[in-house]
Structure formats: structure tokens, C-alpha cells
Amino acid sequence: MFKSRSSNPLNDDTPGADTHNDSLFNLYSNSDSASSLWHYPIRYLNRFLPFNTHNKTNKCSKIIGTEEKINVATECQATIADPSKTSSTNFGSINTLIQKVSNQSFKRLTQTSITSQSLLFEMMDACQQFTTAAITNSPATLMANQIQLYQQQMQLLQNSLMTAIGAEKEPLIQPEKGDKRFNDKAWSDRVFFDYIKQSYLLSSNSILDTVEATEGIDNKTRQRLSFFTRQWLNAIAPSNFLLTNPEVLRITKETKGKNLLRGLKQLAEDLEKSAHLLTIRMTDDNAFILGENIAATPGKVVYRNRMFELIQYTPTTELVNKRPFLIVPPWINKFYIVDLKQEKSYIRWALNEGHSVFIISWINPDQSYKQAGMETYMHEGLLTALTTIEKITGEPDANVIGYCIGGMLLALTLSWLAENNQSQRIASATFWTTMFDFSDPGDLGVFIDENIVKALEQEGEKKGVFDGRLMGIAFSLLRENSLYWNYYIQNYLKGERPTPFDLLYWNSDCTNVTAALHRFVLRELYLGNKLIQKGVLQFDNINIDLSKVTTPTYVVAALQDHIVKWKGSYQSTQVLGGDVTFVLAESGHVAGIINPPTGKYGFYTHHVNVSDPDQWFELAQKQDRSWWLHWGEWISNYSSDKVPARQPGMDNHGNEWSVLCDAPGEYVRIKAAEALA
């Protein structure tokens, strides 16, 4: 049994503390005995922390409940500006600071939104349905899984005891491929931690298997229950806790606890920048400067209204394609996913291929944009951009690319143009990972049902926008071990600074979504699945019918995409009225699209779009090259004529065109929190 520090305190003032804990660390490092470690973790930890909470006066009760506004990040900077120089003289200040950080975290947890409450009720309802179904319909399965888990745990205990006395035993279970939580050698070499690891993995698998095997619950409920069960299991993983993570304990020993001070400081900084849920830094924000080492392709902002800035990029070839092309990015992220580092920049590649490139940079909206819906984004966004491009280039049409939700806007606009006899304004359309059929929305479906959408609508009515920071967390939790908990361990337990990574910098640079736009996408598309239904979706005084869209289209989906399932994207081949070229790229939602011609990922394609996507995949041929090259061949059919390169700031008559600023513009610099301040 663990002994609490309050009953047997051991700290730097205790005689023999150094000797005791050094020998304990040697025991951890060198002994194969598991049982002897059970008595020590809490006492062991206290030796290496340069602070402790064993004070005569508990200040926590005074802090919790206070209405005083505390800038904990500022206090952290003042108290532990340099963790390496922390001394025993400011341990009391650090202890108070810990209590303030805890209090701030507690306050955020109690500021539960309507949406969070709805999610909680949905989870509780799913648990109730599961319990009833398990007892009523699958009692034998439930009992069998319990017996199997008991037997496995007994076998594991026996194996661990045998290993402790020198026997060699094969592990009962190993982490899944790609699970990096237990990579440190101590998870396997030290009996104590190997036991914890295997016990956790066996229990997790048993619980998830029980959820999957229980009869009598619908697929939607099962999916939601599996998702939230997985979240809970991954949250309580032994790797996430100081006393059960051997790597963190070793670092704590080596740094004498300064890793935890650094972690505390970074936690306080992240809390200051978070909404009511903790947003964990994934990369070094200071390593990137927009316009210098990211989003740095030269260009000019040639138009601006309240919804977007239009960027025209500086050509890199003497001749360019006569017909310009426009990129419509999603509004839930910043546009520069297509303009990361130079070697990964789609924009730069397209310029080098001789394209005349324009892109929309959406505003990061505040509460005043509450009523700006999909119609607004079409009229004041995409259609206005096309009109501006025509004025600059003199060309009456353009090739248009829509990425993710930007592709949904493009699809609606194509239908609107067809209904209004203006289809000629878009010569060709390219869709990147765009959902057409929402019957299987993937993991995002766990956040979407009638009750949750109603809660989101109430939240939107109250606040005007959906906070992009919360959306970012939701997307991170779809891959929680690689996009959330690993950074929790790295930043707060190990005390390491995140490494610079352009993709993660972009991923963290979130945007808010207007209430009207959020409501339309969730209710009409995700819940109603109306986009592929003829004449069902009412949009800007027309009934959407994609079969009337005869514009030639190129559709790219990603095989491992967990946000937009490729089969939902494939349905574009069945509902669009024109010629459709469908390409299935390897990798996921981002890496499958941002795939420069370096041979990293290939793609699949087939000339016949059969009705069954599985059959299409069986017929498809794989090409071991980037789909960018394939698209370049396809788009040449719609942009073969050449003209002298168009310089931003000049129209097609040689007259000056007003330039507002250099790329990447001003709207891209607005942070989600700043917009809501």
C-alpha cells in the first residue's frame, strides 16, 4: 500500500533524505523486484520536487471561490522565470502558484457550456442503453469477458512475479503498432512498469471489446459509446501520470524536478490562451512568422471586403495559363495549409507550373458576424472573388478548387450558378476531401445528433460564433494519443518545449465559425444529408440539384481520412451531372492533399465510376506518384492557352490595380481569441 506524505513526510529537510532517495532511484534503475517499489512512489517523488504541498496553512481553501482575477501565466513568469535557477527560498511562492493554477483549471471546468452539458447527457444516455442491453441481451458475453479479463490479470501477475525472480516470460499483450506511449525501454525492462502497462492494455481491450460485442444497441449509440470510452481509457493511461510513467520519473530525477516547474509554467501559459477546455500547444509558436518562413510565397492582397481578402500571387514563369484559377479554402482553418514551407507549398508548385493563382483568405469572425451564413459566404465570398478576378484578368471564367468545407461551398455555388444560367463562370471544379454523402460522417459523427445540434444552436444564438479553439480540441480528440495526450506529457510532465513544425502551427491557428454558417452545415448537411438529395436542400431561394451541374470536375479523397470518409466523397461521381474524375490519394485528410511530387504517397484512379465504391477500389490502378502531377495533366485540358505573366497590381489593360498589402494579408493574422476579445 502507498504511504501518504502527510503520514510519513520526507522532504529536503528530513535527515537522510538524499541517501534514502538515491538508493531508491538505484532500486528503480537496477532491481528486477516489482513488489519493493509499491511502497515508495509518492515519497520518492517528494525528494525531487523543489516544492511540496505539505504546509501548515492550506491556502487552497482561501483561493478557491475568490472572485479575484488572476493572470497565472504572468505570475508564473515572475515566480519561475528561469526554472534552472529556482531555489528553496521561493518554494512557498511556487506552492501558492500551483494552487492558483489548480484553481484556474477548476474554474474552467465548472464553466460548462450548453454544448458540453448536452454531450455529457448523450454520453450518460449511451451508457444507460449499453448497461441495459448488456444485462438484458448479452449477459453471457458480459460474464465471459469479465472471466477472461480476470484470468488474464491473474496470468499477468504470475508472469510478473516470475520475471521478478529471473524467469523469462513473453508479454501477454503488446501496444498496437503506432502507439508510442510505451516506447521508453523502462516500460518493458522494469517489471513494475511492465506490469502496469500490460494490465492497462488488457483492461482497455476488454472494456472496448465488451462495448463492441454487446447486442441490442444501435450503431450510432455504439459508435458514440466506443468513442467516449476510448477517450476515458486514453485519459487514464499510466503514461499520463507522473508516478506511473518511468520516463518522466527518470527525467524528474535527472533535473531535480525542474522539468515539472517548466511544465507548470507552460500549463499556466496554455490556460491563459484556452477557452473553457485546455488547448495544449503542439509546436513552438515563436518559430514561425507569417510571411517570412510560413505563408511566404510572394503576392499581393488585391481585394478586401468584410468576408475575405483576395490574394494574387506573383508569377514565377514568363508565360502563365490564360485562364486563372482560384482556391477556396475551408473557413475552419487558415488558408496557408497550401503554403507551408517552400518545399511543401502547393501555391509555389502551381506557380512554377505556370498557373495564375488566386486564393481566398477568410475573415476570422467575431460576434458581429452572427448572421453571416452560407449564402453570405457565396455572394460576398466566392462569387465576389470570381467577379474581381474577371476584372483583373479580363477572363470571364476560372478554374476553381474547393478544399474540405470550401468544397461544399463550391458545390452549392455550382448548383446556384446552374439554376441561374451562369455555369460558364466556372470552367472546371476541383474538390479536395469534400463530403457529399453525410450518411457516414466518420468520427465527427459522435459530436452530431439532434440534441447536440440544438445545444450548439443555442450556444451560437447566445455567443454569435463557435469558438475555433474548442473546434480545434474536438478535432485533436479524434486522434487523442497523437494530437493531445502526447503533448500533455511532453509539455507538462517532461517540461519540454514543443518543437517547431509548420503543419502543427497551422493546425493550432484556428478560426471561429459564425452561428448561421455552423447551423447550416450541421443541420442541413450533417444531420439532414440534403446535399445529394435532388431538390430537398433550399439555398438562397433555389432547390439544390447537383445533377444539373455539368461542369467538369476532379475529385480527390484520401484513403485514411478520418474526417471526410472517402466513400462519402466518392458519391460525387454519382450525383454530379458532368464528367467526374475521381482520385483516391494515400494517407489522410491533410497529408493526402499536401503531397508534393517527391514520391512519398501515391494514389488510385479508374476511368469508370461504378456505383459501388468498394467495386471501384477493386478496379482502380495505383500510381506511385503524387496526384498533383495527375491533376496537372487533367487541368491542362481547361487551361492550355498562354499569356504573358500577370503581375499583381496591374489589370489586363496594363492599368494599375489597387494593392492593399503584401501576402499573406491582414485577415490571416487575426487569432480566434483576439476576434472574441
Q: In this model, does residue 623 exceed pLDDT 80?
A: yes
**Tens-digit pLDDT profile for residues 203-246:** 999 999 988 888 888 888 888 889 989 999 999 999 999 999 99
Query: Is residue 494 situated within a structural domain?
Result: no
Residue 310 cell numbers, joined: 483576395
Task: Quote the percentage of the chain above a pLDDT of 70.
Answer: 82
**More reliable by pLDDT, 292 or 640:** 292
Torsion, Cα 312 318 323 328, to 10 degrees, reads: -30
CB-based burial label for 649 (10 Å; 0-12, 13-18, 19+): middle
Crossing angle of helices 114-136 and 219-235, in 10° steps, is 110
- Residue 570 to residue 559: CA distance in whole angstroms: 11
Query: Is residue 628 situated within a structural domain?
Result: yes
**Tens-digit pLDDT profile for residues 125-155:** 767 777 777 777 778 888 888 999 999 999 9
404 is catalytic: yes
Cβ atoms of residues 445 and 515 within 8 Å: no
Query: Is residue 104 situated within a structural domain?
Result: no
Q: In this model, does residue 420 exceed pLDDT 90?
A: yes
CB-based burial label for 172 (10 Å; 0-12, 13-18, 19+): middle
- Residue 5 to residue 17: CA distance in whole angstroms: 13
Number of domains the chain contains: 1
Cβ atoms of residues 560 and 585 within 8 Å: no
**Tens-digit pLDDT profile for residues 321-339:** 999 999 999 999 999 999 9
Query: Is residue 258 situated within a structural domain?
Result: no
Query: Is residue 328 situated within a structural domain?
Result: yes
Please work out, in degrees rounded to the nearest 5, the angle formed at the alpha carbon of residue 593 by the alpha carbons of 516 and 339: 80
Q: What is the pLDDT of residue 50?
A: 38
Cβ atoms of residues 593 and 564 within 8 Å: no
Range of the domain at 296: 291-440+514-670
For cell 503543419, what's the residue? 503
**Tens-digit pLDDT profile for residues 257-281:** 999 999 999 998 898 888 878 889 9
- Mapped to the 3 state alphabet, what secondary structure does 74-129 carry? HHHHHHCCCHHHCCHHHHHHHHHHHHHHHHHHHHHHHCCCHHHHHHHHHHHHHHHH
Strand partners, 186: none
- Residue 532 to residue 408: CA distance in whole angstroms: 11
Catalytically annotated residue among 60, 76, 127, 404: 404
Query: Is residue 359 situated within a structural domain?
Result: yes
CATH at 609: 3.40.50.1820
Q: For residue 529, give the nearest of 417, 440, 410, 446 by alpha carbon.
A: 440
**Tens-digit pLDDT profile for residues 350-360:** 999 999 999 99
Q: What is the pLDDT of residue 221?
A: 84
Is 0.95 topped by the overall pTM?
A: no
Query: Is residue 62 situated within a structural domain?
Result: no
**Tens-digit pLDDT profile for residues 523-579:** 999 999 999 999 999 999 999 999 999 999 999 999 999 999 999 999 999 999 999
Report the 10 Å Cβ neighbour count for 74: 12
Which range scores top for mean pLDDT: 84-88, 471-475, 614-618?
Answer: 614-618
Query: Is residue 37 situated within a structural domain?
Result: no
- Residue 637 to residue 625: CA distance in whole angstroms: 20
**More reliable by pLDDT, 23 or 593:** 593
